[in-house]
């Protein structure tokens, strides 16, 4: 059956790559995909995920559930300037393609919190939740049923920036900044947490040449889909940082769930700033060189050094498989 996982996503470009990696991996049993706001609205994100499932032609696709539309306490932000207006690099421009032209997303989807709770009760101690967007869906589940934290095996979080600059402000990473109050709640809920911050994800990336080579080996129409959606992020990176690379933020979170040995892990106590003017959403790790007994107890494991070659081999092997 493979490891049972749930993917929680906000429907952007690297989310799509992460979902492809998870859904095509024989080591996983994807029990559900829960959707949240983030890169785009939750409605657009859900349509993106349904389109992806159509392209993958899965025999037994997982259910999709609609989650939070906005953060717990602050106004919603988005990242269309990076991912495109639809979150997938303007994929609607490809509507003449046969695999897209007839696509119509269902109008009604189940509630994410209810589905999370139902699956956690059905598979107590077996489920790993991989979060690829803001942590609002998980925080709402914990608010509704605090004891549910005892049912999840582990949560793998793509989020935070510990010793590197943020990517939405100088201090904060996008997912945590989007809902710092939800992140604060999750970090202190007692769950077994693995954090995959920008410190780790910036160690794995694709440039244009590597992407072109990779997609030439992928089955169709997945190759066209991956090549097209990636262009908006590559263009954004070239325009803003002078280097056209696609950092595999969300795919790395899936990769370390497949094989935790891809990264070195360090137990840390991490707090989330929820009130700072310039530091809102900052993930502050206690890295003081003190004796262990003088430090606050760790509340998570953080990915540090990444075996990038090993991960990229895994990424390529799974995406280029001719059968799923």
Residue 167's CATH number = 3.90.245.10
Q: Single out the catalytic residue among 247, 249, 269, 278.
A: 249
Q: How much is the pLDDT for 309? A: 97
Q: Say if 96 falls within a structural domain.
A: yes
Model confidence pLDDT, tens digit, residues 187-207: 999 999 999 999 999 999 999
Per-chain mean pLDDT for the chain? 93
Structural domain includes residue 324: no
> Mean per-residue pLDDT for 5-19?
98
Assigned domain for 127 exists: yes
Q: How many domains does the chain have?
A: 1
* Domain assignment present for 9: yes
Taking residues 274-303, what's their average pLDDT?
Answer: 96
Q: Which domain holds residue 278?
A: 3-319
Q: Is 249 a catalytic residue?
A: yes
pLDDT at residue 105 greater than cutoff 70: no
Question: Does the pLDDT at position 80 exceed 60?
Answer: yes
Any domain includes 206: yes
Q: Tell me whether residue 18 is in a domain.
A: yes
| Lowest mean per-residue pLDDT among 51-60, 137-146, 246-255, 287-296 | 51-60
pLDDT at 100 over 60: no
Give the per-residue SS3 of the chain: CCEEEEEEECCCHHHHHHHHHHHCCCCEEEEEEEECCCCCCHHHHHHHHHHHHHHHCCCCCCCEEECCCCCCCCCCCCCHHHHCCCCCCCHHHHCCCHHHHCCCCCCCCCEHHHHHHHHHHHCCCCEEEEECCCCHHHHHHHHHCHHHHHCEEEEEEECCCCCCCCCCCCCECHHHHHCHHHHHHHHCCCCCEEEECHHHHCCCEEEHHHHHHHHHCCCCCHHHHHHHHHHHHHHHHHHHHCCCEEECHHHHHHHHHHCHHHEEEEEECEEECCCCCCCCCEEEECCCCCCHHHCCCCCEEEEEEECHHHHHHHHHHHHCCCCC
Please tell me the pTM assigned to this model: 0.95
The mean pLDDT value for 112-128 works out to 97
Tell me the average pLDDT across 239-252: 96
Does residue 147 lie in a domain region? yes
């Amino acid at each position: 059956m493979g490891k049972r996982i749930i993917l929680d996503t906000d429907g952007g470009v690297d989310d799509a790559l992460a979902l492809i990696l998870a859904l095509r991996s024989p080591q996983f049993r994807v029990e559900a995909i829960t959707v949240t706001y983030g890169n785009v609205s939750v409605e657009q994100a859900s349509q993106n995920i349904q389109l992806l499932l159509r392209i993958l032609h899965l025999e037994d696709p997982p259910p999709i559930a609609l989650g939070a539309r906005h953060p717990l306490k602050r106004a919603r932000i988005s990242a269309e300037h990076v991912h495109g207006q639809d979150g997938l690099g303007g994929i609607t421009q490809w509507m003449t393609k046969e695999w897209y032209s007839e696509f119509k997303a269902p109008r009604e989807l189940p509630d994410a919190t209810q589905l999370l709770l139902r699956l956690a009760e059905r598979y107590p101690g077996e489920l790993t939740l991989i979060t690829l967007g803001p942590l609002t869906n998980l925080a709402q589940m914990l608010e509704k049923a605090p004891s549910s934290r005892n049912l999840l095996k582990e949560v793998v979080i793509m989020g935070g920036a510990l010793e590197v600059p943020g990517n939405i402000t100088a201090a904060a990473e996008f997912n945590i900044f989007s809902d710092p109050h939800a992140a604060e709640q999750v970090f202190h809920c007692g769950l077994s947490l693995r954090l995959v911050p920008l410190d780790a994800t910036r160690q794995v990336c694709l440039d244009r040449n590597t992407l072109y080579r990779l997609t030439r080996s992928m089955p169709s129409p997945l190759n066209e889909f991956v090549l097209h959606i990636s262009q908006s992020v590559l263009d954004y990176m070239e325009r803003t940082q002078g280097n056209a690379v696609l950092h595999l933020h969300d795919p790395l979170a899936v990769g370390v769930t497949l094989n935790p040995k891809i990264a070195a892990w360090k137990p840390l106590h991490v707090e989330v700033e929820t009130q700072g003017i310039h530091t809102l959403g900052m993930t502050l790790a206690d890295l003081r060189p003190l004796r262990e007994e003088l430090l606050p107890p760790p509340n998570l494991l953080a990915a540090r050094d990444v075996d990038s070659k090993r991960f990229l081999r895994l990424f390529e092997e799974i995406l280029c498989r001719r059968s799923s």
